[in-house]
Amino acid sequence: MRAVQYCLLLLLSLVLLSTNEALRCYTCMGSNNADCNRQGSKACPSFSDACAVVVGHDGVMKSCSYRSFCSQANSQGYRAPGVRVHCCYSDDCNVSGFASRLPGLNYLLLL
């Protein structure tokens, strides 16, 4: 009987831990940081391991992302003129974003 209780407790713990594993990020588009944040944060797909903020002239975009995207976006070969990308790796870490908008957000979104 004790073994059954232990197994049930272990199973319940695994279920609760697996639902908490998903990273939460602000996922939004807006003309500025505050406008974007009003749309709130969401649980990311299990394969996402980063939150991203992309700032351009036309506004701010925040989303779930991947470390590999962040590495590429910050390397010389993947920068769009006037676009800044910031990545972070904890729940809702992309809430603050960048202070100002830069030109070129629409260009990046078309890629």
For 14-64, what is each residue's pLDDT tens digit? Answer: 434 444 579 999 999 999 999 999 999 999 999 999 999 998 888 999 999
pTM of the model as a whole: 0.67
Confidence category of residue 102, pLDDT binned at 50, 70, 90:
very low
- Report the candidate in 110, 82, 92, 111 with the shortest Cα–Cα distance to residue 36: 92
pLDDT of residue 3: 38
The CATH number of 22-88, from 3.40.50.720, 1.10.8.60, 2.10.60.10, 2.102.10.10, is: 2.10.60.10
Q: Which residues make Cβ contacts (< 8 Å) with residue 108, sequence separation at least 6?
A: 54, 56, 80, 83
Q: How far apart are CA 60 and CA 30, in angstroms?
A: 5
Check whether 99 has a pLDDT greater than 90. no
pLDDT of residue 106: 40
pLDDT of residue 20: 55
Query: Widest CA span of the chain, in angstroms?
Result: 66
